[in-house]
Amino acid sequence: METKLKIKENWSALKKEIKQKYVALSDLDLVYSEGREDELLATISKKIGKTKEEVTTVIKDLQTKMASKPQGEREDAPSEKSRFATSSASKREDVDAVKSKISSKSPSDREDADIDADPRHIEAAKRH
């Protein structure tokens, strides 16, 4: 029996929701091609131990849930990525500043300063 499933939402967002719900699924398990929905359902159902009909219901429920979310709530992951990127950039700038400070020192002073270039040392120094 072929199950009809229409992917109404953005597949990448829907895929992310499915992967959160079923951690056993990988990106390879969730490759979507138009017209091959039945193969996708078969792969998912085999991986998570549910029937194709149950998987279809889960996907439709997730689509409904995603459609009812306000736009701001759907964008949580990118803002988290943005926060992480900003934090990483700040740490890189700190490391670069220490490295440039070290390179201006004489060779004998650099040996001791190399330890300070480690990002963990920079973070520890900021806390003190």
Residues 68, 84 within the same domain: no
User: Which residue's entry shows tokens 């963990």?
Assistant: 120
Q: Is residue 3 part of a domain?
A: no
Model confidence pLDDT, tens digit, residues 24-59: 999 999 998 888 889 999 999 999 999 999 999 998
Residues 52, 103 within the same domain: no
Q: Is residue 6 part of a domain?
A: no
Q: Is residue 1 part of a domain?
A: no
Which H or E element spans position 127? helix 119-127
Domain termination site, one of 74, 97, 118: 74
State the total domains in the chain: 2
pTM for the predicted model, two decimal places: 0.51
Residues 58, 45 within the same domain: yes
| Sites in the chain below the pLDDT cut of 70 | 1-4, 8-9, 70-92, 95, 98-99, 101-119, 121-125, 127-128
Cβ burial, residue 55 (10 Å; 0-12/13-18/19+)? buried
Residues 51, 91 within the same domain: no
Identity of the residue numbered 6: K
Q: Which domain holds residue 32?
A: 11-74
